[in-house]
Amino acid sequence: VQATLREQQRVRTRASILRVAAEEFDKRGYASVALSEIAARLEVTKGTIYFHFSSKAALASAVVDMYLSAWEALLAEVARQELRGMAALRWLSARVARNYRDEPGVRAPLRLMRESDVIGIDLPTPFLPWVETVTRHVREAQKLGEVRRGLEAETVAWQIVAGFFGAQEISHQLTASADLVERVETMWDLLLPGIESRDPS
Amino acid sequence: VQATLREQQRVRTRASILRVAAEEFDKRGYASVALSEIAARLEVTKGTIYFHFSSKAALASAVVDMYLSAWEALLAEVARQELRGMAALRWLSARVARNYRDEPGVRAPLRLMRESDVIGIDLPTPFLPWVETVTRHVREAQKLGEVRRGLEAETVAWQIVAGFFGAQEISHQLTASADLVERVETMWDLLLPGIESRDPS
Amino acid sequence: VQATLREQQRVRTRASILRVAAEEFDKRGYASVALSEIAARLEVTKGTIYFHFSSKAALASAVVDMYLSAWEALLAEVARQELRGMAALRWLSARVARNYRDEPGVRAPLRLMRESDVIGIDLPTPFLPWVETVTRHVREAQKLGEVRRGLEAETVAWQIVAGFFGAQEISHQLTASADLVERVETMWDLLLPGIESRDPS
Amino acid sequence: VQATLREQQRVRTRASILRVAAEEFDKRGYASVALSEIAARLEVTKGTIYFHFSSKAALASAVVDMYLSAWEALLAEVARQELRGMAALRWLSARVARNYRDEPGVRAPLRLMRESDVIGIDLPTPFLPWVETVTRHVREAQKLGEVRRGLEAETVAWQIVAGFFGAQEISHQLTASADLVERVETMWDLLLPGIESRDPS
DNA sequence: ACGCGCGGGACATCCCGTTGCT
DNA sequence: AGCAACGGGATGTCCCGCGCGT
């Protein structure tokens, strides 16, 4: 595909808007961020933003979409890693924790999805896809004999996701996510004994 | 204490404002709630609200304060219950879960505290007091021999709080907190094996 | 006249309201002063103010009235001083300058009268009575031969008043009235040669 | 300079806002003028005003700035007139008096500068530049022998400015500035004998 | 593809004044 | 004589979105 100069410019501008918007939404929440602030930071006018996104809500939606693409890429990476069962989940959670700590573009969508009722448009339900993904891995772990009998995969997956996002939230509030990675590690240490088969006799 | 007619009226009005404000803040977040909406729901004017609270931020702050009082009452109840160690925590968490599910006045402050940067005034740090309280109970459990050697009380407490609030958040998003109580029960089932002493031999 | 305790209290309260109101109006102007501020400074409520004065405008009007009484007392003092003609005016101007510099209760009415269109009620025209009073003294000076022939008393009086209030205004703005008294002295030194008879031959 | 259509429109709108604002501020003072009134008179919305001026205070500030430019133009005109010493001052004062009488845009800034404490931002000190300018002319007059020995230039200048602005104020209050020009003429007649050298014998 | 000028409409703030209580 | 709760209304601020320019 040949890319005109014009097209390159457009793509770059659109990306920079998304980046700055993600940072601001992450820091201050949807309702408190003014489009004029985003425009000012980029040294463009609101008109430019409205050329790329039809409304403020659409911009937020695009920020969320960008994040979902990132998740899909991450999942593909897990598959490539050839990790199975709980080990895959542990690796994945560490990866996500690092991303969340370091990338505003990853934190922003989470905040936006929580505020979806305020935004007024339908954003993808936050945690459901995660529970589903984790459930698939737990089922795999069950087949590998890593899970105590009598536990439902979905139930276990739900608790894992809850523990992870709880850690994320509290670490974010108390230490600006600085200790998130090790907290997630600890979570696994405490959680695995309750999941794994007690006596493999 | 003598209660004049006026004082009664004032207390009642103030309480009703707080109640409605808590419901709205819970549902839609601080920034998206207009004082005029609260006023309309109460069939009073904004002037009346302004008489009782010097600003929107002060109103939010009062909502949070009301919530903290509720927590203190809950802790006192735990003490009266004569429960010790992990059992006390489990009872407490079930109690809090029910409260959170049923009382908007309990959910609202949590949301407000998360949005404290938008509100602009200093709200009490959300989770720190909880970690401290839980830490005390874990220490007690350590003395009772309920905790595996080598675990730090504060670390365990942090994970319990994280698991609890994670469950709260996800249950709130996915089922409007309907399944919160059982989810918290399950959390304990999965978590306790990792905490308790493995072999009391 | 017998004064009940109640009556004394009323008079005192009324006077203190007037005093504080004068200070605030002097400092910040009619429109920018809130009755609630005056009430707060006196540690009473607005209701108290409304018992004594039927409206904010009425309060301002009362402040102006208080000032006019002060002027009348001053004029009576001039009469008692047995000064005649220009000497009387010079003494009077020095006295007024000192009052203006030291008493907010004297400055406030001047500012209020200038803002009378904003207040909405009819306040006594500011400078007219002054020109009239000064005119009377100039006529007396004419009879004493202190005024050059060909000058109209009213014209001279107008200029004296203008010079005085100009000095007042500028001294107020530049030095908070600190140098007002000497500036007025200088005014007479420069003005008298133009007024007095040139050659008393 | 190329003038696009849009630029012309902007300049015109901005100028008309300034004009109407000056008239209103002149008539009713800063605090009593509502932006909505200015907008209504111009048949635009407050949003339009807010586009051109970031706040009400900024609008007032711009009105004052416009006035200062006018003064500078006037001073340049005096220089061109090739008048020297007192004659220059007399010509200048007559010119200013006419301007003040006829142009609301000239009166408004004076009122605004007096109310600068209410406006909240720093406006140029009102009378100081005038005293300085007049002082320079008086010094010139001293060199020309027009000033009696023993008089300080700054002192004389201060009195001239005071007399002028006093006349302005009183003429404004009593006759809506109708008699201002002749009053200022009379001022010079009364003031010059006190300034000029008595006997050049 | 982007900028400018503007519309329209909220929203928090805050203020004057009134009515029923003491 | 004084106070407390509240009504009603206006104001400055500010923001999203549009439509014409270019």
* SS3 labels along A35-77: HHHHHHHHCCCHHHHHHHCCCHHHHHHHHHHHHHHHHHHHHHH
Å between CA of C56 and C1' of E20: 22
Å between CA of B47 and C1' of E15: 10
Q: Do C162 and D159 touch (CB under 8 A)?
A: no
Residues 6+ apart with CB under 8 A from D38: D17, D20, D21, D24, D49
**d(Cα D45, Cα D23) in Å, to the nearest integer?**
18
Q: Which chains touch C (3 or more CB pairs under 8 A)?
A: D
Interface present between D and A (3 or more CB pairs within 8 Å): no
Number of Cβ within a 10 Å radius of residue C149: 8
Å between CA of D64 and C1' of F13: 22
Mean pLDDT of the region B174-201: 86
For strand E, give the nucleotides within 7 A of a protein CB.
Answer: 1-22
* Tokens found for residue D162: 């005071």
pLDDT tens-digit map of C55-72: 999 999 999 998 888 888
* Tokens found for residue D21: 């604002």
* Tokens found for residue B172: 């709130």
| Residues 36-95 (D) near nucleic chain E, CB < 7 A | 44-48, 50-52
**Confidence at residue A19, expressed as pLDDT on a 0 to 100 scale:** 92
Mean per-residue pLDDT of chain D: 90
CB hemisphere CA count around D169 (13 angstroms)? 29
Residues 6+ apart with CB under 8 A from A133: A75
Q: Are D19 and D6 in contact (CB under 8 A)?
A: no
- Express as a percent the part of chain A with pLDDT over 90: 56
**d(Cα D98, Cα D178) in Å, to the nearest integer?**
9
* Tokens found for residue D14: 């901005």
Mean pLDDT of the region C109-120: 87
Q: What is the CA radius of gyration of chain D?
A: 20
Could you check: is the Cβ of residue A9 within 7 Å of any atom of nucleic acid strand E?
A: yes
For B176, the 3-state DSSP assignment is coil
pLDDT tens-digit map of A34-88: 999 999 999 998 989 999 999 999 999 999 998 888 888 888 888 888 888 899 9
Higher pLDDT, A126 or D120: D120
Residue A28 clears pLDDT 50, i.e. is over it: yes
Q: Which residues of B touch A189 (CB under 8 A)?
A: 194
Strands (DSSP E) found in chain B: none
**d(Cα C70, Cα C67) in Å, to the nearest integer?**
5
pLDDT tens-digit map of A91-146: 999 999 999 999 888 889 988 988 888 888 888 877 888 899 999 999 999 999 99
Q: Which residues of A touch B158 (CB under 8 A)?
A: 170, 183, 186
Could you check: is the Cβ of residue C13 within 7 Å of any atom of nucleic acid strand F?
A: yes
* pLDDT band, residue C197 (cuts 50/70/90): low
Per CB distance under 8 Å, which residues of C are interface residues toward D? 27-29, 31-32, 114-115, 117-118, 125-128, 131, 155-156, 158-159, 161-167, 169-170, 173-174, 183, 186-187, 189-195, 198
Residues 6+ apart with CB under 8 A from B199: none
Mean per-residue pLDDT of chain B: 90
* pLDDT band, residue A200 (cuts 50/70/90): very low
Q: Between C85-102 and C128-143, two packed helices, what is the crossing angle to 10 degrees?
A: 150
Amino acid whose CA is nearest the C1' of E22 = B4
Amino acid whose CA is nearest the C1' of E4 = D6
CA distances from A81 to A87, A92, A106, A144 (A): 11, 10, 22, 17
**Confidence at residue C23, expressed as pLDDT on a 0 to 100 scale:** 93
Q: Are B110 and B126 in contact (CB under 8 A)?
A: yes
**Confidence at residue D1, expressed as pLDDT on a 0 to 100 scale:** 46
**Confidence at residue D178, expressed as pLDDT on a 0 to 100 scale:** 95
**d(Cα A93, Cα B87) in Å, to the nearest integer?**
30
**d(Cα B92, Cα B75) in Å, to the nearest integer?**
8
CB burial class (10 A; 0-12, 13-18, 19+) of residue B80? exposed
**d(Cα D161, Cα D163) in Å, to the nearest integer?**
5
* Tokens found for residue D5: 């259509």
Burial A135-172 (b: 16+ CB within 10 A, else e): bebbbbbbeeebbbeebebebbbbbbbbbbbbbbbbbb
Q: Are B166 and A162 in contact (CB under 8 A)?
A: yes
Interface present between B and D (3 or more CB pairs within 8 Å): no
Could you check: is the Cβ of residue B10 within 7 Å of any atom of nucleic acid strand F?
A: yes
CB burial class (10 A; 0-12, 13-18, 19+) of residue D61? buried
Task: Give the sign of the dihedral formed by CA C158, CA D74, CA C115, CA C182.
Answer: negative
Q: Do D186 and C155 touch (CB under 8 A)?
A: yes
Q: Which residues of B touch A128 (CB under 8 A)?
A: 174
Residue A186 clears pLDDT 60, i.e. is over it: yes
* SS3 labels along chain D: CCCCHHHHHHHHHHHHHHHHHHHHHHHHCCCCCCHHHHHHHHCCCHHHHHHHCCCHHHHHHHHHHHHHHHHHHHHHHHHHHCCCHHHHHHHHHHHHHHHHHHCHHHHHHHHHHHCHHHHCCCCCCCCHHHHHHHHHHHHHHHHCCCCCCCCCHHHHHHHHHHHHHHHHHHHHHHHCCCCHHHHHHHHHHHHHHHHCCCCCC
For B60, the 3-state DSSP assignment is helix
**d(Cα C118, Cα C99) in Å, to the nearest integer?**
26
Q: Do C31 and D32 touch (CB under 8 A)?
A: yes
Residue B2 clears pLDDT 80, i.e. is over it: no
Could you check: is the Cβ of residue A41 within 7 Å of any atom of nucleic acid strand E?
A: no
* Among the listed residues D16, D12, D23, the one whose alpha carbon sits nearest the alpha carbon of residue D112: D23
For B115, the 3-state DSSP assignment is coil
pLDDT tens-digit map of D170-193: 999 899 999 999 999 999 999 999
DSSP state of A152: -
**d(Cα D178, Cα D183) in Å, to the nearest integer?**
10
**Confidence at residue A197, expressed as pLDDT on a 0 to 100 scale:** 62
| Residues 41-60 (B) near nucleic chain F, CB < 7 A | 44-48, 50-52
Q: Do C174 and D28 touch (CB under 8 A)?
A: no
**d(Cα B110, Cα B143) in Å, to the nearest integer?**
32
**d(Cα A172, Cα A156) in Å, to the nearest integer?**
24
AA identity, residue C84: R
Q: Are D177 and D101 in contact (CB under 8 A)?
A: yes
Closest Cβ–Cβ partner in A117, A131, A194 for B192:
A194
* Tokens found for residue D174: 């009593």
Q: Do D174 and C32 touch (CB under 8 A)?
A: no
Could you check: is the Cβ of residue A42 within 7 Å of any atom of nucleic acid strand E?
A: no
* pLDDT band, residue C51 (cuts 50/70/90): very high
Mean per-residue pLDDT of chain C: 89
For strand F, give the nucleotides within 7 A of a protein CB.
Answer: 1-22
pLDDT tens-digit map of B25-74: 998 899 999 999 999 999 999 999 999 999 999 999 999 998 888 888 88
* Among the listed residues D57, B179, C9, the one whose alpha carbon sits nearest the alpha carbon of residue A158: B179
**Confidence at residue A1, expressed as pLDDT on a 0 to 100 scale:** 46
* pLDDT band, residue D114 (cuts 50/70/90): confident
DSSP state of C124: P
Nucleotide nearest to D59 (CA to C1'): F12
Q: Are D142 and D190 in contact (CB under 8 A)?
A: no
Distance, in angstroms, between B27 CA and closest chain A CA?
A: 8
AA identity, residue C62: A
Residue C187 clears pLDDT 70, i.e. is over it: yes
**Confidence at residue C200, expressed as pLDDT on a 0 to 100 scale:** 44
Q: For the range A123-126, what are the long-range contacts, defined as Cβ-Cβ under 8 Å and sequence gap of 24 or more? A: A123/A60, A123/A61, A123/A64, A124/A64, A124/A68, A125/B173, A125/B174, A126/B173
